[in-house]
Structure 1
Amino acid sequence: MGVRRLVGRGDELERLALAVREARRLVLVTGEVGIGKTRLVARAATAARETGAVVVEAPCLPLGLRLPLLPVIEALRSLATALGRPAFAELPPYALDELARLVPEVVGRAAAPDLLPAGEWQRQRLFAAVDLVLARVAGSRPVVLVVEDLHWVDAATLDLLTYLRASSNGSLTLIVTCRSDEAPLDPPVERWLEQARRPETVRLELTGLSRPEMAELAGMATGGTPHEAMVEELHRRTEGNPYFAEELLAASGGGGLARQPPRALAELLVARSRRVSVPARAVLAVLAVAGRPVAETVVARITGMTPADVAAAMHELVDARLALPDSGRPELGCRAQHALLAEAVAVDLLADERRDIHAGMAAALQAVDDPALSAEIAGHWAAAGRPDDELASLLAAAEHSHRMRAYSQAADLWQRATGIAESRPDAAEKSGVEPGWLRIRAIDALQACGRDLDAGTVTEQTYAKLRGPASGALLAAVLHRTAWYRGVIAPREAPPGTAYAIFDEATRAYAELPRSAEYARFLADYARFMWMDSGDRASEPIFRRALDVADGCGDVLDGAYAFIGLADVAFLHGDPADGFALLDRARVHSGRYSELSLRVDLLIADSLSNALLKMGDLAQAERVALEGLERAHRAGAAAGYSGAVLHHNAAEAFLERGLVDAAAAVLSDVCASEPRLDDWNLHLCQAQVEICRGAVDVALARTRAVDLLELTGPRMWVYERTRLLPRAPLWAGDPAMALDRVEKALALLAGCAVEQFCGELFAHGARAAADLAETARARRDDEAERSALDAADRLVAAQERMPGRPLRDHPFLATVPGDRADWYAELTRVRGVPDPDAWAEAAEAWERLGRPHRRAYALWRQAQALLSTSRNSTTAVDALRAAAGAANGMAPLTAAIDRLARRSRISLDEKPAQAPAASADPYRLTNRERHVLRMIAHGYTNAQIGAELFMSPKTASVHVSNILRKLNVANRAEAAAVGERAGLTDPVP
């Protein structure tokens, strides 16, 4: 009865083959259980191999505790089986280090110990290493990665699939199968599937077989021509589900259809399983409970049977179509023929039988001595009702997950272990663990993977539970994490100032302990928080104390952090030269350790590019940020907070120089995602791109989404958010919203050194008040005008109350002259007496600073003021024409300039500009390459370029490589910038 032929899926098979040929990045195959997803994908994989493709398989397993990255490990082993060690040859050192965590037996080396604290960027390096291996192979031949049963996937593998899906390296196709009737799906899986349903994704939703196809299947099963009545009944009762049909036919024994309806299929499956011998049933019970392929030796250990008897039983199960040998790795033995069969057989066992098999599986897997199996072992001990044994396995599983960069799963495992350890003190003592330290490990892992809100919840629970009974190092660690959470994540329910009080309490606790790296880290965190929240010099002695402690205990990383913090203090307090020297010392301090040096180097790039931005050296800031990103990408470390800062600094430098397309290219991955705690700055920057391109409503919605995060945190972060938030409502015609945002921000920032940064906020507030006043006067609404004037008075009073004097010149804050000029010029608008000279001064200030769009805004206002004070429109011609030239790339401002020119009957075209001919291009790009360059500037991926221009992603990749070579640049952002400056992103005439 071995019906394995693919029936009725010819169209789907052809679509899969076409997707592989075109290197479509993602193929999503969905359908109910038994509909034939596995059979379809297996046939497609065979066809791909026959055409020269490399097919690697990454099965997901139905385990209670999901093993981190197990499908990825299996895929890498499958790749090694297909191609051997050369597939992993000549990889950069970081890639070998990361792959050694997954498949040390393939790489031929053990993973090196971590020098740095856990962080999301390290997990991205692991992902980059996997991507690099696949891309190396996919550069010369197609690679197909088959991920079966996504509904059982672990969180880390899901994130890696997201990473691979977004990659444009090589001819790689992901074929993913998932049940459509699995209810409920895990929320991360559900979100992933929702995001995967994009136009570029090939989606195959398998439905039931038609009646003729069902007749073909029945004929193959019975070895003859089936009766019409039987086919009709088979089709009606199974609704075209081929697996259900095969089981009904198999249960009939050749004498017509079995009487059970599909809803009683479980009973049917159990009844079939009882037809085999007693030894075979015992082996099937083990396979069913395991939910995965099980080797003969493991089954023998659990059942007490001899290996020969187990082998014979497995052959009997395969012949009866109740089990399947593992085709990818035969040494793993057999698995149940179908997940539905395994579920039915496992449920049919008595509770004691199931517990015994789970205990046997746990003991057998422990004997294998593979740390990757720890989570699975813990799951079996839990199902066996043996919490003491479960605790030991949970601890091993958490450590293993942490080494595998699966920080989210490590945190969950540590929390589960904490629950057992706290409820069973004897088990905790036997395992040698203190439950409080398990909580600390969970908090750190949650922060490392970006689950800050969850980290905060566990932190507050730990603080409430342990502040009284804990002492010594544990108490200090609890206070440290709580203070950081209260200060940086800043829950709204926490009273103001509690972070400082708890930091002080932690300081006293650490003072009674020996110096340690943990103490150095605490001091660096305390100083960093104090600096971010106040900006004053009070953090400087704490940074120096952190440096002293770090040097004393050999903690190079926190010593480097201290140098960078001291540099930031020096920059703001008027000594840039000292700041640059301190950054150099941080680099030298960490230079002995390659991995640590890279991490510090990225933090230095963050600080340096930010300093250059503030000091007005936009070209240098752009260069430093892009070079930092390039190094980070090469080392697989471009994700996480440092990567977000570098992306933001590069994009802002481009935007301030009027290079909107280049900024969009830097931010191309942001557009489709929702803001998170660790990338809100990129979304606010993306909103500026959308404003420039005229999508003001989209920008306003994006800033509102950032608002909904209800972020507070240290006041330096508040400033960085609030300085960008008012821009969207100002251009959207909602000055009341902009004014409200400005006043709330100024209230939060008053009373600390961060006041010095607030010049731009005052200028935004004055602009909002002026817009409100002009609208009120146009409508003859005296009350609204008085309200606008009162708002301006409030802003003036707030500015005068700030001892930091935000509009006073500062050696670190280059934009103060422009912000000050805007502020005074906007106040003349508020009072209804716009001053052309004030706006001319603002335009000159912004021209000196190299900010074309801000200069264009001032020139536009100057032209308005000239037209309002003179009956002769020619007085405004020069200002308006200059504004039109400077506003290039800023759509709403350009539209406003055009409207003013039409109303005033001013021609903006003194000499009609001619679009440069393609032949005048000094880089000798073809028209097609210029088209591709424009799409690069708009953030298109290779797959999107291919879809737009009717070419494969691989062909698009060739065009992109040619463009980078001709322009002599290293990445897409630089290409977009060069193209914009040279006019190459203008439409081809």
Structure 2
Amino acid sequence: MAATGLVGRDGELARLAAAIRQARRLVLVTGEVGIGKTRLVTQAALAARETGAVVVEASCLPLNVRLPLLPIVETLRGLGRAVGPTAFAEILAGLPPYAVEELARLAPELVGRDAGPDVLPAGEWRRQRMFAAVELLLVRVATDRPMVVVVEDLHWADGATLDLLTYLRGSSSGSITLVVTCRDDEVPAHPRVAEWVEQARRPETVRLELGGLSRPAMAELAGMTLGGPPEDAVLDELYRRTDGNPYFAEELIAAALAAGDGGQGFALARQPPRALAELLLARSRRVGPPARTVLAALAVAGRPVPETAVARVTGMTAADVAAAMHELIDARLAVQDRTRPELGCRTQHALLAEAVAGELLPDERRDLHAATAAALEAMADPALSAEIAVHWAAAGRPDNELASLVDAAEHGHRVRAYAQAAELWQRAARVAESLPDEAEKSQVEPGWLRVAAIDALQACGRDLDAGVLAEQTYARYGDTADGPLLAGVLHRTAWHRGVIGQREASPGTAYALFEEAERIHRALRESAEYARVLTDHARFRWLDRHDAATGSLYRTAFDVARRCGATLDGAQALLGLAEVAFVHGDPAEGFALLDRAGDLADPGLSLLVGFTAADYRSNALLKMGQLAQAERVAAQALDQARRAGAASGYQGAVLHHNAAEALLEQGLVDAAAEVLSEVSERPPRLDDWNLHLLLAQVETCRGELDAALARTRAVESMGLAGPRMWVYERLRLAPRVALWAGDPATALDGAEQALARLGGSGVELYCGELLALGARAAADLAETARARRDGDAERAALAATDRLAGILERMTVRPFADHPFVSTIPGDRAGWLAELLRARGGDDPDAWMAAAAVWRRLGRPHREAYALLRQAEALLTASRDAAAATAPLRAAADAASGMVPLLTRINRLARRSRISLRPASAAAPPPPVPPPGPKDPYGLTDRERHVLRLLGRGYTNAQIGAELFMSPKTASVHVSSILRKLNVANRAEAAAVGERAGLGDLDP
């Protein structure tokens, strides 16, 4: 038996109930307007409550300004009612302090106090911390019973709500089910909503896509309204004209009944929403004038409105409003809000509100909007500010609109809805710029509104959008503003040009903008903003030049911050001085400065300063070669960050990167992959591209070369530029992937491009690895060219080594001179020298042995294994005795654990040289079949190429004969011919030349 009002949805209701029982994380219910989404989830929520589940319901509002986190706030309030004040207080008492503080920011009445003032700058990590607080609360409630969170009308949701739902959707904690309804006929859908819905269409999501009712279900629905089954002709007409939409059908039947025809003889064609609106209006005209007045007020409000507010809007008495409300409810034109009855009534459907509001005369609409704005203001709820601004705008009152927009932006910023705050500040700026007199009267400076929007965009990770707005603001105010405003615009434009720019940006132009901002500040009273300009300038200069002169800027910033009492800026300056000390001073001094910065920060600032210090400390330990300690510092900081709800954002990405790279350099591939698992399924972003590049190294180690190449290309496609230290971090790893993918030409080109972009700065200190990788690529190209007897290609490869040597000669910083901060310099230097010898045809086993010894001392097993492999190859080339290569090749196999491409090459060399590796190492995966090579320059016959292919597998003459159906003596003749044609001394060297030249790849 179908539930009352829920007809023809037994299957969907059963699926939804099963999803709730199974605690499926997300149920997405979609369908056109009126199709029955709300009825379905309402019935499911009722059934879930009856089984003991905690159910909270919220919805979004159809306003042209999307209210920040409105359904989340409603969810929290509903949760407080569902569990009761005593239980809710007990749950709050068990939450960490940061979570209670963030919840107080969203719903202070539930926590019993307002949130304290922010002492830390806005940032994406703070928004994620709020998300973590909401999740933690829901998880605590769902500890011993299932929980259902219903969010309706997602098509009207704001970006912060969408992001929080994404966060909750990805959580694996607690028996929580999110039930979300969304129209699929919103045209055009808001891009953020469309993207969210598309991302939600994944296998683990339970999707209920509601279509029209079946003909039997439509007959049941009509019979419930008509008091008996409809005639077949009536049913046919009804079904044809509504396509099974239950709401449309009900309205058609109600209109027919009101016309007195008993539901017979429907005269309308299938009703689209516009024609349906005419039916709704016809019904609304049948109630009395007071009810129509109240209905108009509800329609303009577009939300549930308490009777007291309706009385204020309409000027009616409370008794008259109550009587009108009852009349509207009886006529099915209004309905009481089911989630929060105290909020009052709303129109029965959004279509009805649109129709009623659209019928009003312009002056009537403006007056109602003004009265509604005033009534909402009287409720003294800052969360309503954006909604109030909409009504003031519709009322043609820009002065009131401007004030409300500013209030709304400030509220959005307080609740971490930074993207919405930025949108509201920009909207306020446009109003202020179009009405300068009103702005002056309101003491609002539109330029500062733009600056606030820039900062909010940066806080939510939309740095590129912030950069665009900074450039627009600079173009508008650069010649007209003065004093602090001009300095603020110059500061933000300089930062985004220098640090967050794309390739078309010119980071070098940031220096002059920073200097001009500092000049303006020197003429003003010292302030924290001046300290911030100095710190940001120093940070950019350090990232771009890595020079010792940066220290004086940081020291000036520290002195200004100290005099102004700007503790956070002073701590940031000390952290910057620590970086300078690591490279241009004494590493011990750098660690001391990190400690001093931590001691300087008061308890309110210790969180951010501590995480930044951990970033710098773990990075320093990583570069100094103290890998285990670097991983431990980063992991401990990450653990603290997770407990504080602050493990996301740029700072968290750096800590993840340092921990993962320290593990990877120790050969712990699986452990590194676990650290990076959070980003594996999402595209790279501005705050985590470094993690994707490191994950590409993990994929390379695992032999997933296509995935690694695709990931590096995804980062490249972001079109990032910025300071040279970040350019180095983006480009230093790509050549490794290309080399292991068998593309030395791309690796060489990437290394040379990187070196060209990094020249002339202190970042050259780190370029030894790029030089060594470039030399390796050139050596690979030279060996292949010699194997193929391609003189032109060999000369091109040797020319590349000359270019690399020329780059090294022109560097002002010597990347191969030992330095206390960069531990890898000796290994890179040894690799560079050995690769140059290999490129020139003089592969030296002793040079590779020396390189392997350095990497062994530094605790980098995969780099050691590569050098040992090269040593074994050089020994086999120089000697007919494979015994000399056995020890280094076995050591290489042991050190290469976890590095599939390297193990493949080691095993391939062992097979063709008939060197026995230990069983544990011999279990490495078989080598892939090489791609077809170029034309054979050695004149081998097809038969000889088949023999050469088996030589590469380490076959004896007898095994070759058995494989190719020839005698061992004939096989020996072929082998001798191959050695003569390839001009090599032994079988192993023949197999090596054949591999480089792409020979021996025919099918037998």
Residue segments in structure 2 that go unaligned for 5+ positions in a row: 925-1004
Q: Is the radius of gyration larger for structure 1 or structure 2?
A: 2
Q: Which residue of the partner structure matches residue 220 of structure 1?
A: 224
Q: Which residue of the partner structure matches residue 519 of structure 1?
A: 530
Task: Check the 8 A contact 1:287/1:294 in 2, yes or no.
Answer: yes
Matched, 1:622 2:631: yes
Distance in 1 of aligned mates of 2:15 and 2:446: 54
Superimposed CA distance per residue, residues 387-434 of structure 1 (whole angstroms, 9 cap, x where no aligned partner): 121101111111111111111111111111111111211211221111
The one-letter amino acid paired with 1:296 is: E
Q: CA deviation at 1:574?
A: 4.5
Q: CA deviation at 1:864?
A: 2.0
**Which structure 2 residues correspond to residues 1-40 of structure 1 after superposition, within 5 A?**
4-40=4-40
Q: Which residue of the partner structure matches residue 969 of structure 1?
A: none
Q: Which residue of the partner structure matches residue 165 of structure 1?
A: 169
Distance in 1 of aligned mates of 2:235 and 2:788: 78
Superimposed CA distance per residue, residues 586-633 of structure 1 (whole angstroms, 9 cap, x where no aligned partner): 01000x32x310110000010001001001111111111111111111
Distance in 1 of aligned mates of 2:367 and 2:139: 45
Task: Check the 8 A contact 2:226/2:263 in 1, yes or no.
Answer: no
Matched, 1:510 2:521: yes
Superimposed CA distance per residue, residues 807-831 of structure 1 (whole angstroms, 9 cap, x where no aligned partner): 1111111111111121112212211
Q: Which residue of the partner structure matches residue 241 of structure 1?
A: 245
Matched, 1:467 2:471: no
Matched, 1:278 2:289: yes
Aligned residue-pair number? 912
Superimposed CA distance per residue, residues 844-883 of structure 1 (whole angstroms, 9 cap, x where no aligned partner): 2111111111112222222222222222333322222222
Task: Check the 8 A contact 2:58/2:339 in 1, yes or no.
Answer: no
Between the two structures, name the one with larger relative contact order (CA 8 Å, sep ≥ 6): 1
Distance in 2 of aligned mates of 1:862 and 1:241: 76
Matched, 1:259 2:260: no
Selected match of 1:865 from 846, 869, 874:
874
Matched, 1:898 2:907: yes
Selected match of 1:417 from 425, 428, 432:
428
Task: Check the 8 A contact 2:61/2:303 in 1, yes or no.
Answer: yes
Q: Secondary structure at the match of 2:179?
A: strand
Distance in 2 of aligned mates of 1:258 and 1:551: 81
Selected match of 1:356 from 364, 367, 379:
367
Is the alpha carbon distance of 1:381 and 1:734 closer, same or farther for their aligned partners in structure 2, counting shifts above 3 Å?
Answer: same
Distance in 2 of aligned mates of 1:786 and 1:829: 14
Selected match of 1:181 from 164, 185, 189:
185
The one-letter amino acid paired with 1:812 is: F
Distance in 1 of aligned mates of 2:909 and 2:356: 78
The one-letter amino acid paired with 1:33 is: V
Selected match of 2:399 from 388, 393, 397:
388
Matched, 1:724 2:744: no
Q: Secondary structure at the match of 2:678?
A: coil
Selected match of 2:494 from 461, 479, 483:
483
Task: Check the 8 A contact 2:581/2:587 in 1, yes or no.
Answer: yes
Distance in 2 of aligned mates of 1:400 and 1:496: 34
Selected match of 2:449 from 421, 438, 450:
438
Is the alpha carbon distance of 1:265 and 1:4 closer, same or farther for their aligned partners in structure 2, counting shifts above 3 Å?
Answer: farther
Q: CA deviation at 1:658?
A: 1.3
Q: Secondary structure at the match of 2:535?
A: helix
Is the alpha carbon distance of 1:496 and 1:549 closer, same or farther for their aligned partners in structure 2, counting shifts above 3 Å?
Answer: closer
Matched, 1:814 2:818: no
Distance in 2 of aligned mates of 1:64 and 1:446: 20
Q: CA deviation at 1:779?
A: 2.7
Q: Which residue of the partner structure matches residue 377 of structure 1?
A: 388
Selected match of 1:339 from 350, 369, 386:
350
Q: CA deviation at 1:317?
A: 1.5
Distance in 1 of aligned mates of 2:561 and 2:212: 66
Superimposed CA distance per residue, residues 485-507 of structure 1 (whole angstroms, 9 cap, x where no aligned partner): 22112354444621111111112
Farther-moved stretch of structure 1 (356-365 vs 602-611):
356-365
Q: Secondary structure at the match of 1:497?
A: helix
Farther-moved stretch of structure 1 (772-781 vs 355-364):
772-781
The one-letter amino acid paired with 1:613 is: L
What root-mean-square deviation, in Å, do the aligned CA atoms of Structure 1 and Structure 2 show? Answer: 1.7
Q: CA deviation at 1:522?
A: 1.0
Matched, 1:210 2:210: no
Q: Which residue of the partner structure matches residue 199 of structure 2?
A: 195
The one-letter amino acid paired with 1:198 is: R
Distance in 1 of aligned mates of 2:778 and 2:564: 56
Distance in 2 of aligned mates of 1:446 and 1:527: 22
Task: Check the 8 A contact 1:25/1:174 in 2, yes or no.
Answer: yes
Q: Which residue of the partner structure matches residue 137 of structure 1?
A: 141
Q: Which residue of the partner structure matches residue 615 of structure 2?
A: 606
Q: Which residue of the partner structure matches residue 943 of structure 2?
A: none
Task: Check the 8 A contact 1:574/1:811 in 2, yes or no.
Answer: no
Q: CA deviation at 1:568?
A: 0.6
Q: Secondary structure at the match of 2:94?
A: coil
Sequence identity (%): 69
Q: Which residue of the partner structure matches residue 927 of structure 1?
A: none
**Which structure 2 residues correspond to residues 836-855 of structure 1 after superposition, within 5 A?**
836-855=845-864
- Using the size of structure 2 for normalisation, the TM-score is 0.89
**Which structure 2 residues correspond to residues 119-130 of structure 1 after superposition, within 5 A?**
119-130=123-134
Distance in 1 of aligned mates of 2:791 and 2:508: 42
Superimposed CA distance per residue, residues 162-194 of structure 1 (whole angstroms, 9 cap, x where no aligned partner): 111122221111111111111111111111112
Distance in 2 of aligned mates of 1:9 and 1:612: 62
Is the alpha carbon distance of 1:911 and 1:328 closer, same or farther for their aligned partners in structure 2, counting shifts above 3 Å?
Answer: closer
Q: Secondary structure at the match of 1:177?
A: strand
Superimposed CA distance per residue, residues 611-665 of structure 1 (whole angstroms, 9 cap, x where no aligned partner): 0100111111111111111111111111111011001111111111111111111
Superimposed CA distance per residue, residues 712-737 of structure 1 (whole angstroms, 9 cap, x where no aligned partner): 11111111111112222222222222
Matched, 1:231 2:235: yes
Distance in 2 of aligned mates of 1:170 and 1:640: 24
Q: Which residue of the partner structure matches residue 940 of structure 1?
A: none
Task: Check the 8 A contact 1:574/1:812 in 2, yes or no.
Answer: no
Q: CA deviation at 1:900?
A: 2.3
Q: Secondary structure at the match of 1:741?
A: helix
Distance in 1 of aligned mates of 2:20 and 2:610: 40
The one-letter amino acid paired with 1:419 is: R
Selected match of 2:409 from 380, 398, 404:
398
Q: Secondary structure at the match of 1:55?
A: strand
Task: Check the 8 A contact 1:249/1:257 in 2, yes or no.
Answer: no
Q: CA deviation at 1:564?
A: 0.6
Task: Check the 8 A contact 2:618/2:631 in 1, yes or no.
Answer: yes
Selected match of 1:659 from 661, 668, 671:
668
Distance in 2 of aligned mates of 1:266 and 1:169: 45
Q: Which residue of the partner structure matches residue 573 of structure 2?
A: 562
Q: Which residue of the partner structure matches residue 990 of structure 2?
A: none
Distance in 1 of aligned mates of 2:67 and 2:100: 22
Q: Which residue of the partner structure matches residue 888 of structure 1?
A: 897
Superimposed CA distance per residue, residues 349-371 of structure 1 (whole angstroms, 9 cap, x where no aligned partner): 33332222211211111111111
Q: CA deviation at 1:544?
A: 0.9
Distance in 1 of aligned mates of 2:712 and 2:672: 18
Q: Secondary structure at the match of 1:173?
A: strand
Is the alpha carbon distance of 1:868 and 1:231 closer, same or farther for their aligned partners in structure 2, counting shifts above 3 Å?
Answer: farther
Selected match of 1:703 from 708, 712, 716:
712
Q: CA deviation at 1:910?
A: 5.0
**Which structure 2 residues correspond to residues 303-342 of structure 1 after superposition, within 5 A?**
303-342=314-353
The one-letter amino acid paired with 1:43 is: Q
The one-letter amino acid paired with 1:67 is: L
Is the alpha carbon distance of 1:401 and 1:872 closer, same or farther for their aligned partners in structure 2, counting shifts above 3 Å?
Answer: same
Q: CA deviation at 1:345?
A: 2.4
Task: Check the 8 A contact 2:428/2:449 in 1, yes or no.
Answer: yes
Is the alpha carbon distance of 1:579 and 1:616 closer, same or farther for their aligned partners in structure 2, counting shifts above 3 Å?
Answer: same
Superimposed CA distance per residue, residues 479-537 of structure 1 (whole angstroms, 9 cap, x where no aligned partner): 21121122112354444621111111112111101111111111111111111111111
Q: Secondary structure at the match of 1:537?
A: coil
Q: Which residue of the partner structure matches residue 53 of structure 2?
A: 53
